[in-house]
Structure 1
Amino acid sequence: MPILVGHRGAPLRRTENTIPSLLLAAELGADAVEFDVRASADGHPILLHDRTLQRFWNDPRMPGEASLAEIQALRTEVTGERIPTLAEVAEVVALRLVVDNKNPDLVPAVAAELRAAGALERSWFIGQPEVLTVVRAHQPEAEIVLSWVGPDLPPDTLLDAVRPQALNLRWDSLTEESVERAAARGLRMWTYCVDDAQAAARALAWGIAAVISNDLPAVTPVLAGASA
């Protein structure tokens, strides 16, 4: 059975990249949760995908223009959810953590907070080459999943620099041949986002190692059936 990863938690049911969303993903059967990390103006790693705080939080600033206190004072209108720190997530979410750090300068702080929470060894690092090359240099032992837009694999020079254990290709550009070429390079294949049963069945048939999904209930029966 592929590893089932909640994309920013369970974003169809709770606000993405919040603790309620991540915890709900665990309840819905996820093996791991993927989330995005940026920094506040005072350097604290927080969970946020977008470049600004506008979506969900109704604040036009970039996170680097607001202090942690200002960011954590923001609330969603209906449910009152807030933006958590990475430290909070590492403390309360017991699943594997799939960390998409958006800022290469934040790599040491992210590693330090995960280590302080005893979560570094259960963390995978996913995302773009410019960040992951820094992760590899800073953490030679890190488990790295390099995101890429297929179907072609990344160039050998990049693979040699990042030394990922797995690739993460967009589902809408992934092919079975991509999976086979990755396997020939000794790389596992992840894919995002798989959100329906038909796609989950095809990913299973192709031997995908990890499926990132926005809709865990839609794909879990297919993947769990294979395990049974």
Structure 2
Amino acid sequence: MKIIAHRGARAEEPENTLRAVRKAFECGVDAVEIDVRFSKDREIVVIHDDTLERTTNGIGKVGEKTLEQLRTLDAGKGEKVPRLREVLLLAENLGLELVIELKEENMEELIVDEVKEAKMEKSVIISSFYHASMHKIKELAPRIKTGVIISSLPVFPVKIAIDASANVIFPKYPRLNAEFVVEASKKGIEIYPWAINTREDLAKALELGVDGVVTDDPCKLKLFMEKMEKSNKECVMK
């Protein structure tokens, strides 16, 4: 089962920074999830909020600042707001998969261009709450995996993914049940719930048979998983 670090190792490092990505790699995760937006001059930058105050020492809206202005800010511990291409390069060098969440619409073509330029088509999942954007991504680049994010459990969640031509569903935990997971599996759709941060939630996710989990504390969750795997092996040996 894959462990995906939500905004990097954000429990220990500033979220959505190169430092957070490196720390997640050190913890042994399989993939890192990041969020992307446009700057004023339509450069793709890695930041979650549409405003700067929570994660940087800046003030105002991300979309009202140029890349040059954003790069002068401190995103925590001296880190800068990264460009997408920087994170793609780092992930490639580290051998990490990358989940790229689109926080805005109309980013599809530029996102695909940057992923292709980095030769990371087989190592990324592009995801969003904007499900129509995922359909467009698939039209532009059929080889790139896409995922729909859902914060509530609709009546037909698997149909939503199929309609968006998505390969993955990212449902908010605990809005998850065995019937949903089984149905998705039959359709070849992977399930990665978010955010799984405790031993109890991890055990439940494993029991349900999900393909992976998204976590805010990847280092801790990796330890939980290793201990659970060791315990299971000891039980089998007995």
Tell me if TM exceeds 0.5: yes
Whole-Å Cα distance in 2 between the matches of residues 183 and 137 of structure 1? 23
Aligned CA distance change for structure 1 residues 188 and 121 (closer, same or farther; 3 Å): closer
Distance 1:160 1:10 in 2: 31
Contact 1:32 1:97 in 2 (8 A): yes
C-alpha displacement at 1:131, in angstroms?
Answer: 2.4
SS of 1:124 mapped into structure 2? strand
Residue of structure 1 equivalent to 2:89:
91
Letter in 2 for 1:80: G
Whole-angstrom CA distance in 1 between matches of 2:168 and 2:158: 14
Percent pairwise identity: 24
2:196 and 2:24 mapped to 1: Cα distance?
15
Contact 2:153–2:176 (8 Å) recurs in 1: yes
| Structure 2 CA distance for aligned equivalents of residues 149 and 106 of structure 1 | 21
How far the C-alpha of 1:171 sits from its partner, in A, is: 0.9
Does the CA contact (< 8 Å) of 2:170 and 2:193 recur in 1?
A: yes
Instruction: State the alpha-carbon separation in 2 of the partners of residues 88 and 174 from structure 1.
Output: 34
Please give the TM-score of this superposition, normalised by the length of structure 1: 0.91
Change (3 A) 1:180 1:150: farther
Matching residue of 2:22: 23
Note the 1:134-153 alignment, pairs <5 A: 134-152=136-154, 153=156
Q: Which runs of 5+ in 1 are unaligned?
A: none
CA RMSD of aligned residues (A): 1.8
1:217 maps to 219
Q: Quick one: structure 1 residues 97 and 9, their matched pair in 2 at CA, closer, same or farther if it must change by over 3 Å? A: same
2:57 maps to 58
Q: Is 1:122–2:126 an aligned residue pair?
A: no
Structure 1 residue 138, shift from structure 2 partner: 1.7
Unaligned runs of 5+ in 2: 234-238
How many pairs align?
A: 225
Alpha-carbon shift at residue 56 of structure 1 (Å) = 1.9
The corresponding residue for 2:108 is: 107
Q: Which moved more, 1:163-172 or 1:22-31?
A: 163-172
Residue 70 of structure 2 corresponds to 71
Query: Which runs of structure 1 show a deviation greater than 4 angstroms over 4 or more consecutive aligned residues?
Result: none
Matched, 1:37 2:40: no
Paired residue secondary structure (2:111): helix
Deviation of 1:162 after TM superposition, in Å, equals 1.4
Shift of 1:89: 0.8
Instruction: Report deviation, 1:154.
Output: 2.5
CA distance in 2, matches of 1:131, 1:59: 29
- Is this contact kept in 2: 1:103–1:131, CA < 8 A? no
* Correspondence for 2:236: none
